Amino acid sequence: MNTIKALIKLCLFIAILLTYFVVATILYFSTLSLKTRRSRLINNTQRYTRLLAFIFRVKVICKNPISPDETSLVIGNHVGFIDVIAMQTIQPCVFITSLEMKHTPVLGQISQLAGCAYVNRLNRSNIEDELQDIVKALKEGFRVGLYPEAQASNGEQVLPFKKTLLMAAGYANCPIRPYVFNYLKVNGRPVEYKDRDYVCWYGDQSFFPSMWKTFHLDSVECEIEFLEPFYFKQEDDRTFVSVTVHDRIAAKFRPFVRPKE
């Protein structure tokens, strides 16, 4: 029965994805202004992520919601694709993702049509130029989403943050807005360690096998809690900024705990 439900969800997902591609492609090529194009793309992405969340019964609870017109660099812990969907259901963001993602079939096209910006996580020689791209997006009034862990974790901890890209907020004279993402329930019951591999995408897992596991679930409830904004200056120590924000998020994170033998 679970396999049949998963197959139905897969078919729905493909149908939604194809429709998304058509609509987003029309928006992409019919909008000449780069700023207006990005705005339309991220708003279109929000509509479809809300549809996905509704169909796949992903309930998102938002604690301490922030103003829709706040310009900030929002950063939080990353455990897989569900937290990306959850954030987009709340507020459209220009997400920062890797150049490797851009060149990944299907995922690359999705990210481009979602108005994402890219950084090369394997070669840091152009990091200053990439930093300026993020600063430009912030100065244009976009909310920018960044996962400073640079990879999804297995849900047992918040990984150390990469420092450089966090400084974009200081250069743009806007705050970092930390948030913490936590799973609350799976299939209507409190989340347990055994659920980890159904809701987290980490390690050597590829995207679609990981999503296939998630499709077997009846429902998921998660929470995004926004924390107090963190203001700093561009000349402030990067390590201090990184560690301070990391510790605020880690303090609120509820990890998956391995059962005792």
Q: What is the pLDDT of residues 9-54, one digit of tens each?
A: 999 999 999 999 999 999 999 999 999 999 999 999 999 999 999 9
Q: Which domains are present in the chain? A: 2-252 (3.40.1130)
- When pLDDT is cut at 50, 70 and 90, the band that residue 240 belongs to is very high
- When pLDDT is cut at 50, 70 and 90, the band that residue 125 belongs to is low
Identify the three-state secondary structure at position 191: coil
pTM of the entire structure? Answer: 0.91
In angstroms, rounded to a whole number, what is the distance separating the alpha carbons of residues 138 and 113? 19
Closest alpha carbon to 179 in 246, 117, 118 = 246
- When pLDDT is cut at 50, 70 and 90, the band that residue 122 belongs to is low
Q: How far is CA 120 from CA 166, 171, 210, 234, in A?
A: 15, 20, 24, 22
* CA atoms in the 13 A half-sphere facing the CB of 220: 26
Higher pLDDT, 3 or 252: 252
Contacts 24+ apart (CB under 8 A), 188-196: 188/218, 188/219, 191/256, 193/256, 193/257, 193/258, 193/259, 195/256, 196/154, 196/155, 196/256
Identify the three-state secondary structure at position 117: strand
In angstroms, rounded to a whole number, what is the distance separating the alpha carbons of residues 246 and 117? 22
Higher pLDDT, 29 or 257: 29
Q: What is the pLDDT of residues 53-101, one digit of tens each?
A: 998 899 999 999 999 889 999 999 999 889 999 999 998 899 988 878 8
Residue 89: phi, psi to the nearest 5? -70, -25
Model pLDDT, residue 151: 85
Q: What is the pLDDT of residues 144-178, one digit of tens each?
A: 999 999 888 889 999 999 888 899 999 999 999 99
Alpha helices in the chain (DSSP H): 2-30, 34-55, 81-90, 99-102, 107-113, 127-139, 168-171, 196-199, 207-215, 238-252
